[in-house]
Amino acid sequence: MSSLNSRSRKWLEDNGYIAQVVEMGIPKTFKKRDLFGCFDVLAVGHGLVKFIQTTSLSNASSRRKKVLASDAYKELANTDGVDIQLHLWFKKGRFWKLRIEDL
């Protein structure tokens, strides 16, 4: 499992959510498009809908700014039953670790 999005999806599923990577590749380019311009993974479970931006710990600041500046964040942040999170992945020794930041 190499992508951080896949790691987040698996972590969510292991914790009782139904999760899907919603970042899409744009055909005939090397670019990707996030859901609403800022989310990579969508998950449902435990009475919640989670919108997640997945990144490395070193890119946290730029990804946080991207989410907070989005129109989607402004709408979703005040919606009951919605969580918006950054999944920040980093390696500790040989193992990948996850730090979750609620926005």
The pLDDT of residue 1 is 53
> In what side-by-side order are the strands of the sheet with 41-45?
18-21, 41-45, 48-56, 82-92, 95-102
The answer regarding whether domain 4-102 maps to CATH 3.40.1350 reads yes
Nearest to 41 by CA among 87, 89, 93: 87
pLDDT digits (tens, 9 = 90+) for 20-63: 999 888 888 888 889 999 999 999 999 999 999 999 999 999 99
Q: Which whole-number Å values give the CA distances from 24 to 19, 41, 58, 61, in the listed order?
A: 15, 11, 23, 22
More confident residue, 79 or 24: 79
As a whole number of angstroms, the distance between CA 22 and CA 93 comes to 30
The predicted structure's pLDDT at residue 45: 97
Would you state the pLDDT for residue 2?
73
Where in the chain does DSSP place strands (E)?
Answer: 18-21, 24-25, 32-33, 41-45, 48-56, 82-92, 95-102
Quick one: pLDDT at residue 31? 87
